[in-house]
């Protein structure tokens, strides 16, 4: 999601009297809330006109009484309710009444994390009308790599798309965790140099040669030796390469290969598949090496491997190396 216009208004000191920041992705909530905390008041004013409360330790009577006060040493007073989801929201009548006559010099921020606020509530509609509601949604898996690239670019660095994809796969969708690792990278890589897969390996601890992307590439090229090398590495390092993650990524990869077969206008393939154009040649090669029928069979083999890994086949072997070795043999033969 793009929160740049909101941050730009905050920088210009264009505030609204109440912010409802809600949703499953806490990162964007924290960024907006922190921007307000760093903008509305300077350090000297905060001692008089800033109040930070926590949802589980406060109530709406306390919040509203604080909101009705006027600032002592500045143009505004700032009230931030951290973990606002822990408030007793069935008792929100006082806040709803406050919405009828907002104190113009108060900036009230509700940090409602990890779930969406009930949009059917009268309070939601009142805040939407008189303040600002920001819904912070989690990114889909296939959007994370692009977000990493955009974030890095905003900071003045560049990152190779393969490096961004590797980070996205191994760090998941938790943006706060990703940003911490990106900040670590930016401390160690000069601005004038593109962040590479090697930088990811050296600073984050993800192997550039033995990861699920390299496994998929080896399979796309029908490079059996490399594929089995990677399987041996996964078996020796199961915590860094959980079987469920490997199988999930492979399933996504071969699903894209199957989809590629059905794309009529190949010039739109990168967009249709949701991949960076850099990776398209690999999908073209994989599609040549695995026709539609074979790709369907591979996806079935992946489902079978997933069931085996969960012990859902009678007498099935749940050993990572055996499951992957059998799977690779099935794919290549």
pLDDT tens for residues 43-99?
A: 999 999 999 999 999 999 999 999 999 999 999 999 999 999 999 999 999 999 999
Tokens of 290: 């695995």
> What is d(CA 164, CA 167) in angstroms, rounded to the nearest whole number?
5
- Mean pLDDT, the chain, rounded, equals 94
What's the sign of the alpha-carbon dihedral 145, 275, 299, 210? negative
pTM of the model as a whole: 0.80
User: Per-residue pLDDT averaged across 104-112, rounded?
Assistant: 98
CA distances 26 to 33, 55, 172, 229, 231, Å, are 10, 15, 14, 39, 36
> Phi/psi class of residue 128: alpha, beta or left (left: φ > 0; alpha: ψ in -120 to 50)?
alpha
- For residue 313, pLDDT over 90 is answered with no
Q: Express as a percent the part of the chain with pLDDT over 70.
A: 98
Average pLDDT over residues 208-219: 93
Strands (E), the chain: 18-23, 50-54, 77-82, 106-113, 132-135
For the stretch 174-196, pLDDT in tens is: 999 999 999 999 999 999 999 99
Buried b (16+ CB within 10 A) or exposed e, 261-292: eeeeeeeebeebbebbeebeebbeebbeebee
**Burial class of 47 by CB neighbour count within 10 A (0 to 12, 13 to 18, 19+):** exposed
């Amino acid at each position: 999601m793009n929160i740049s216009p909101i941050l730009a208004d905050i920088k210009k000191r264009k505030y609204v009297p109440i912010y409802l920041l809600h949703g499953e992705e806490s990162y964007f909530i924290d960024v907006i809330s922190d921007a307000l905390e760093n903008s509305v008041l300077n350090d000297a004013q905060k001692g008089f006109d800033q109040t930070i409360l926590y949802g589980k330790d406060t109530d709406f009577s306390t919040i509203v009484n604080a909101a009705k006060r006027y600032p002592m040493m500045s143009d505004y007073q700032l009230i931030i309710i951290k973990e606002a989801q822990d408030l007793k929201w069935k008792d929100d009548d006082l806040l709803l009444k406050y919405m009828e006559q907002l104190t113009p010099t108060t900036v009230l921020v509700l940090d409602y994390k990890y779930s969406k606020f009930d949009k059917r509530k009268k309070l939601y509609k009142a805040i939407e009308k008189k303040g600002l509601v920001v819904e912070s949604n989690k990114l889909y898996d296939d959007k994370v790599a692009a977000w990493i690239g955009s974030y890095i670019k905003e900071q003045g660095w560049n990152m190779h798309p393969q490096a961004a994809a590797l980070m996205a796969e191994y760090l998941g969708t938790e943006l706060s965790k990703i940003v911490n690792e990106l900040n670590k990278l930016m401390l160690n890589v000069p601005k004038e140099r593109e962040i590479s897969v090697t930088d990811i390996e050296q600073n984050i601890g993800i192997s550039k040669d033995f990861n699920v992307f390299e496994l998929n590439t080896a399979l796309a090229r029908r490079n059996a030796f490399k594929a089995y090398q990677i399987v041996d590495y996964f078996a020796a390092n199961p915590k860094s390469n959980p079987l469920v993650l490997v199988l999930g990524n492979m399933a996504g990869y071969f699903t894209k290969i199957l989809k590629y077969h059905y794309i009529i206008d190949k010039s739109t393939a990168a967009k249709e598949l949701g991949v960076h154009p850099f990776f398209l040649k690999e999908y073209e090669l994989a599609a040549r090496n695995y026709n539609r029928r074979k790709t369907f069979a591979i996806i079935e083999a992946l489902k079978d491997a997933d069931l085996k890994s969960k012990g859902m086949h009678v007498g099935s072997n749940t050993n990572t190396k055996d499951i992957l070795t059998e799977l690779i043999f099935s794919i290549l033969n």
